[in-house]
Structure 1
Amino acid sequence: MYDEYIKAGQIASKVRKSATKRITSGMKVIDLIEWVEEEIRKNGAGLAFPCNISINDITSHYTSPPSDDTVFCNGDIVKIDLGTHVDGYIADTAVTVIVEGDNIEIDNNTSMPGRLDNGNPEVTTSDLEERVELIEAARNALECAISIIRDGITLSDISSQLEETIINQGFNPISDLTGHSLARYNLHSGLQIPPVSTGDTHTLHEGDVVAIEPFVTSGVGLVETLPQHYIYSYLRERPFGESEASKLLKHIQENNLHFPFAKRYFLDLYDEDKLNHVMHPLITSRAIFPYKLLKEASGAMNAQCEHTIIVEKEGCIVTTL
């Protein structure tokens, strides 16, 4: 078991580090996402979830839909969140970067669902300085939390450490985005580890596996749910007769039973318009669950850092360093 967790973590770390070197202004988001996902497979792991790329005030749950024209712009603060698994044993990791390079001219008619602005945003020196500080605050909070993890620590101890570190650096934790426990074939296996103190006395023990992922913002520290959704997970069997919806649900059961998936995964079965039509009854019947796009509620910039950790008697193993 440990060997699989370690291998998944090593692959996730390698791909994460390489992804930060590839991102540049003018690059399409879908090109980076597809590169990340292909690199994970080439290195011998499976996808624990679609690669998430969340720009500026978007916090999470964005992955490219088919035909995504979203591009990165100079000064964007971008969360890259990726997950791998080896035989069901998961590594979940994230990093935040600031995009550099020359912006390209963007057609006003271009559809960019991965941005909540129209592209080419004006970013001042003061803006950039704050974004650098946000990333540093998230990184410091994660490191401080990791430093205290050991057998016998409570979830509240970890949450309090995250909260104190973030606030002392002049920012707010996003309280409703939490770390979580991991299990084989189970990305969110029951425990939640928020970046604010909750008084949760649940104790971690040697061998437990958790992902710690503080989100840091200059805003109110809450998320707002948007109507768009691009990531899904299987929930249950539903009767659809001999329809295309039934065929797609069977395909999901056979290929995406345990881990979240994206619409992009099914473009070899249907074109984009047909795919939207076929997926609609799966969503409305709750055969599959849509993860709606999340943004910081006050529209503020935010940063995320994340590692996967195996608890030991006197410390922990960080699998995704």
Structure 2
Amino acid sequence: MLEKYEKAGEIASKVRNEAAKKIKAGVKVGDIVDFVETSIKDTGAGLSFPCNVSINQIAAHYTADPGDETLFCRGDIVKLDLGAEVDGYISDTAVTVIVEGENADNTDEDGNLINMPGRLDNGDVEVSEEEIELRQQIKEASSSALENAISIIRDGTTLNEIGEIVQKTIQDMGFMPIVNLSGHSLERNNLHAGLSIPNYPDGSDHKLQEGDHIAVEPFATNGIGEVNDLPNAYIYSYLRNRPLRQPDARKLLKDISVNNTYFPFSKRALIDKYPDLKSLNRAMRPLLVSRSIYPYSALKEKTDGMVAQTEHTLIVEKDSCEITTL
């Protein structure tokens, strides 16, 4: 078991580092998602969730649908969140990248603005050096909070103590933790296994135990420190079988129940069996209405603050912890 957790962490760490170097202005979000997911699968591992690539005010739960034309722009603060699973044993890791390079044209050959669902702007932004420096500081607040949290994690550490050090680190650097996003415990075939690892002192006296597997992920922002749902979802999870009238919906639900039983999935994982995105969306609609699958809405900082995220998967030890995704 331990070796499989470590292998999953090693794979995710390597792919994370390689993918982060590819995030440049003018690159498509979809190309990064393709690279991450293909690279993980090429090792023989599976995805513990779809690769998340969340830009600026979008904090989490964004991934590229098939055909997504969203581009990175200079100065973007990008959260790259990914994970691998080896025989059901999971890794989960994230890094924040401040995008460098030259912006690409944000119009098509007819001069129309390209639709970029992964952005809250039109992809033609000018970011000042002062703003880039601010975003770098937000990134450092998140990474410092994770480093400080890891330093206290051992058998007997309480969840409140973790939240306290995360909040103090981020606030001492002039920013806010996002209080309604948290880390989580991990078990085989279970990405969110019951424990929430807070980013603020929540009063929990639950003590970590030697052998616990957890993901710690401080989010830092220059906003108020809360997220809310955006209208659209890009990531889903299987809930249950339901009787469905439409043949294409029944077939899709059967495929999901077999191939995506335990781990979240995106439309990219399903599109190969459908001629186009419209037909896939039509088949998915009854699954959503019947609550056969659950949609995870993309999440935005409530006051449009910029957001950074840093995350590692840890195994709690008697006097410290092992970082599997280092």
Could you tell me how far apart the structure 2 residues matched to 1:5 and 1:94 are? 17
Q: Please give the per-residue CA displacement for 1:144-178, whole angstroms capped at 9, x wherever unaligned.
A: 00000000111111111101111111100000000
Could you tell me how far apart the structure 2 residues matched to 1:284 and 1:81 are? 28
Q: How many residues align?
A: 321
Could you tell me how far apart the structure 1 residues matched to 2:54 and 2:175 are? 19
> Amino acid of the residue matched to residue 147 of structure 1?
S
Question: 2:11 aligned with 1:11, yes or no?
Answer: yes
Could you tell me how far apart the structure 2 residues matched to 1:46 and 1:216 are? 29
SS in 2 for 1:293: strand
Residue 205 (structure 1) aligned to one of 188, 192, 209: 209
Could you tell me how far 1:44 is from its partner in structure 2?
Answer: 2.6
Could you tell me how far apart the structure 1 residues matched to 2:65 and 2:272 are? 14
Could you tell me how far 1:42 is from its partner in structure 2?
Answer: 1.2
Equivalence map 1:69-218=2 (5 Å): 69-107=69-107, 108-218=112-222
Could you tell me how far apart the structure 2 residues matched to 1:56 and 1:317 are? 31
2:310 matched residue in structure 1 = 305
1:49 matched residue in structure 2 = 49
SS in 1 for 2:127: coil
For structure 1, which segment, 31-40 or 266-275, has the greater mean C-alpha deviation from structure 2 after superposition? 266-275
1:287 matched residue in structure 2 = 292
SS in 2 for 1:49: coil
Native 8 Å contact 2:113 2:122 kept in 1: no
Residue 255 (structure 1) aligned to one of 256, 259, 269: 259
Could you tell me how far apart the structure 2 residues matched to 1:44 and 1:143 are? 30
Could you tell me how far apart the structure 1 residues matched to 2:246 and 2:177 are? 48
Residue 230 (structure 2) aligned to one of 226, 230, 233: 226
Could you tell me how far apart the structure 1 residues matched to 2:127 and 2:93 are? 27
Could you tell me how far apart the structure 2 residues matched to 1:115 and 1:242 are? 34
1:267 matched residue in structure 2 = 271
Native 8 Å contact 2:146 2:311 kept in 1: yes
State the identity %. 56
Could you tell me how far 1:242 is from its partner in structure 2?
Answer: 6.2
Q: Please give the per-residue CA displacement for 1:44-85, whole angstroms capped at 9, x wherever unaligned.
A: 311000000000000001000111000001111100000111
1:244 matched residue in structure 2 = 248
Could you tell me how far 1:120 is from its partner in structure 2?
Answer: 2.0
TM-score if structure 1 supplies the norm length? 0.99
Could you tell me how far apart the structure 1 residues matched to 2:255 and 2:83 are? 22
Could you tell me how far apart the structure 2 residues matched to 1:298 and 1:209 are? 33
Could you tell me how far apart the structure 2 residues matched to 1:185 and 1:72 are? 33
SS in 2 for 1:282: helix
Runs of 4+ in structure 1 deviating by more than 2 angstroms, as ranges, are none
Could you tell me how far apart the structure 1 residues matched to 2:272 and 2:154 are? 46
Native 8 Å contact 1:74 1:120 kept in 2: no
Native 8 Å contact 1:54 1:80 kept in 2: yes
Could you tell me how far 1:204 is from its partner in structure 2?
Answer: 0.6
2:320 matched residue in structure 1 = 315
Please report the RMSD computed on the Cα atoms of aligned residues, expressed in angstroms. 0.8
